Chain A
Amino acid sequence: MKESRYFAVVYMFVLTAICSTLLIGLARLTEAKVKSNEQIAFERAALAVFPSVQVQSDAEVHAVFTKDFAAPKVSGDAYEYRPQGQLAGYALPFAGQGFWAPIRGVIGIGTDFKTITGIWFYEQAETPGLGARIVEPFFYEQFAGKQFDEGLRPIRIRAPAEATERDIQAITGATQTCVRLEKLLNDAVTQWRQKKEAAQP
């Protein structure tokens, strides 16, 4: 019986059904946890781009985020940062392909639509020791206080030798990461600007 063709089919079917059922069960059980992890990572990033906010635990992050941030009315738009009800800036989420894997993060923009208040990457898998250094303070702290340029290239990441005061200094040995990062940041900022212009005739 064991070698019968029908037995093999039925056996495979039953085994697959059992395994899938167990996995679906486990995925369902952890679904809420996974979702909240992703949400917290994003909320932490949104808070991190405004230097005045200092929070530690996940619960605090969530509490402050829900109190101070207003979700965008149009999808793809920035979150409004309103501590004590006053508009103090925009938290613009960005995402795009890095060198190896997607890079996701949030960039903070001041109420003048020009000044960067900070930047935070909460997902990346660039080369450790090279591209992955975008998450180190020496790199991301450069963004705070920089002004956007007009045109389609608001943010410029350049080789340290060529970089002026207005530019972000790239990481040596991580050219691909920096080029892609610059592109995805500029795409996000440009799109956001166009939406803002369209909204205010």
Chain B
Amino acid sequence: MNGQTTTKTTNQIILDGLWRDNPIFRQILGICSTLAVTNNVTNTAVMCISLSLVTALSCATVSALKEWTPKTVRMMVQVLIIAFYVIIVDILLRAYWPDMSRSLGPYVGLIITNCIVMGRCEAFAQSNRPWPSFLDGLFSGLGYSVILLVIAAIREVMGMGTLAGYPLPYFSTQWDKWVIMVMPPGAFFVLACLLWVCRSIGIKGKKA
């Protein structure tokens, strides 16, 4: 978030989104959905795909419109564009994947308020061209997705003994299921542990 301009290469954008500036463990953005939708891998995956697409398309659109957008209303324009894409995702899910739409409930709509989307629009897309902005949004979304899927996998396996709905050999039978893992506090514990691990690796990487 330090006002980088068009000098980033594609590889840098990808690496920043996935690791160096990872929205979850570097910027601690989008935590609400991290806690809310990670108790089961299938829901998380759909949420991640939706968020990545919304971020990528919103960033590209914000970037494409930036020459005409007056500075005074740029935040309003960003929210409008984000809401536009989120509602499209919501409508498509409701029409073509009603079961998923029902189980995600209000969380699809809440992508609008996910800080990652607006954060990338404001920090990157506002000062870069559409294609790099699209990539930046997409890979920030994927960076978020990777962490969310790891959290979801840990929570689902330890809390329910299944992975994406399929019972796992040891966990669904002998394993004493940790009920706390499927409850909201479970997400806090797993997220905190992951932050710890990822940041420790990050620090080591910098020293080397």
Contact = CB atoms under 8 A, between A and B. Distances in A.
B81 A19 contact: yes
A22 B84 contact: yes
A134 B70 CA distance: 52
Interface string B178-207: 010011000000000000000000000000
A23 B70 contact: no
B94 interface: yes
Interface residues of A, number: 30
B182 A130 contact: yes
A129 B70 contact: no
Contact of A26 (B88, B98, B102, B159): B88
A30 B77 contact: no
A141 interface: no
Nearest to B104: A125
A176 B77 CA distance: 42
Contacts of A73: none
Nearest to B161: A129
Contact of B91 (A5, A12, A27): A27
B91 A30 contact: yes
A30 B103 contact: no
B88 A23 contact: yes
Contacts of A41: 98
The residue among B40, B92, B102, B179 with the most chain A CB atoms within 10 A of its own CB is: B102
Interface in A144-165: none
The prevalent SS among residues of B at the interface is: helix
Interface string B83-124: 110011001101110100011011000000000000000000
Contacts of A34: 91, 94-95, 98
Contacts of B98: 34, 37-38, 41
Given A2-B70, A23-B88, A173-B179, A15 B80 contact: yes
B70 A7 contact: yes
Contacts of B68: 2, 11
B14 interface: no
Interface in A1-42: 2-5, 7-8, 11-12, 15-16, 19, 22-23, 26-27, 30, 33-34, 37-38, 41
The residue among A8, A34, A101, A128 with the most chain B CB atoms within 10 A of its own CB is: A128
B20 interface: no
Contacts of A15: 65, 77, 80
Contact of A123 (B72, B95, B102): B102
A12 B73 contact: yes
Given A3-B70, A41-B98, A130 B179 contact: yes
Contacts of A2: 68, 70
Nearest to B92: A30
6 contacts: A8-B70, A15-B65, A123-B102, A127-B39, A127-B183, A128-B156
Interface of A: 2-5, 7-8, 11-12, 15-16, 19, 22-23, 26-27, 30, 33-34, 37-38, 41, 100-101, 123, 125, 127-130, 173
